Amino acid sequence: MRPESEATAERVFVALADPSRRAVLAALAANGPATATDLADRLPITRQAIAKHLALLAEAGLVIAEPGERRRVRYRLDSAPMQVAQQFLAAMARDWDGPLDALRKHLDG
C-alpha cells in the first residue's frame, strides 16, 4: 500500500477509535448533513465537544464542512477515506490468510 494511503488509513483508524466520534458519524449517516448544534441536540455530547470531534473527523477526511445559511456550517459524510481504510484492512487480511492456513494445516496434521 502506498504511504499516502497508509497515512489516510491511520487517520481514519484514529478517528474511529473514539466512541463519541463514531456516534457523530452514525448520526450523520442516519440523518444526513447536520450542524454541530443539530448533532448536540441528538447526542448526549456538548456542542463544544462535538465541534472538536468534527474538526478531527474533518482532518481525517471523513466529514466535509459546507457553509450554510447564517454562517452555520453543515457537515456531511465523505466515504472515500473509509474506503481506503477498508482496502488497507483487506490487504492485511490477505497477508494473514496464507500463514494462518499453514498453521492450521500444521496443527491439524
Task: Please give the pLDDT value at position 76.
Answer: 96
Considering the chain, what is the average pLDDT of its residues?
91
pLDDT cut 90: percent of the chain above it:
69
pLDDT of 38-80, one tens digit each? 999 999 999 999 999 999 999 999 999 998 778 789 999 999 9
Task: Please give the pLDDT value at position 108.
Answer: 87
Whole-structure pTM value: 0.81
Burial of 54 (0-12, 13-18, 19+ CB in 10 A): buried
